[in-house]
Amino acid sequence: MIRIREGALTVQGSETNWRHPQEQPLRRLISDNRAALGSLTVFVAMLLIFTVANPKVFTTWALYSSVFTTLPVAIFLTVALVFIVTVGEIDLSFPATMGFAAWMFALIVKAGYDPGLGFAAALISGALLGAFVGSLVVYANLSSLIATLGMNFVLRGLIQIFTEGKSIALVSLGDTFLFKLFSSELWGIPVQIVWAILFTVFAAYLFNRHRFGVHVHIVGDNPDSAAQMGIDVKQVRVMSFVFVGVAAGIAGVFSTMINFTWWPTAGDGYLLPVLASVFVGGTPTWGGVGTVVGGAIGALTVSFIQTGIVGAGLSGFYIQFFNGLIIILSLLGHRWNQIRYR
């Protein structure tokens, strides 16, 4: 896959498309963001259905405020996981990494230290765990699927062993500057969602405009060609795991600040929803192609499914059905809307 945006040539798979330099900006914007726009279409259609089913619930701000309070945790994880899938790997250890990093944060805050120090500890521990997992995959040449799944069990087991399944209450956290900065409200809007949007913008820039993002695309598309171009393929793959670890650390801290409590199971419930969000968002499974903005929209879609079903007055038994339906329909839509590069 080769794209020369400044010029007229775009090579995608076996097709060569000539773009006129004076192509309309709107048409080019739509063409370059088809996956994200497809995800947005699915979300809007789903929301319209829920609104028609129960307009009283879905026209009140309280519902959206509730979702926006917890949604950022999923966005942090999903956006980072787009890098891993695009580089041609998978990471199933992020739930335990999130729980471990949040544990470090909780221990430091409980000991009476500044929560900012705990936040830094969470980021560092997440990055180190990401580097360790990435090294297992890249330098020990293990399957990322098996290695990260095993690491998820190992980390979760260590947490349970050392804590004996006990939670950590952080009742004083609400009076700290860190809480007011990251988990308060601004004009009735949960400030967490603002940070999630900023993180998405930063990740989108890193993914689409920065050298690291370009290398992620190239390595995921063809690692042999990337190596011949002088790209350190192993380093790019490891750094993708590190980025997921950092994002898991951020997600762990935000999750802890929502409930003022750290739980030994923190992160467990995010494995399947986050993976679903990545693929619903338009990132395919074969590597080399992805969309950060689409991933964030995918997280928004998946997060609204459970709330929407209950708000529409349906039984909770429908949740699994609609989860699968939305995922399948989204993937079908992306298949029709997106050129398969391989």
Write out pLDDT tens, residues 193-221: 999 999 999 999 999 989 999 999 999 98
Taking only the tens place, the pLDDT of each residue in 298-307 is 898 888 887 7
C-alpha separations of 76 from 94, 257, 286, 319, 341 in Å: 11, 15, 22, 23, 27
Q: How is the chain split into domains, by residue range?
A: 1-31, 33-337
Contact 125, 249 (CB under 8 A): yes
Model pTM score: 0.86
- State the pLDDT confidence band at 18, using cuts at 50, 70 and 90: very low
CATH topology of domain 33-337: ABC transporter involved in vitamin B12 uptake, BtuC (1.10.3470)
Please indicate whether residue 9 or residue 189 has the higher confidence score (pLDDT): 189
Taking only the tens place, the pLDDT of each residue in 257-310 is 988 899 999 988 899 889 888 988 888 877 788 889 989 988 988 888 877 777
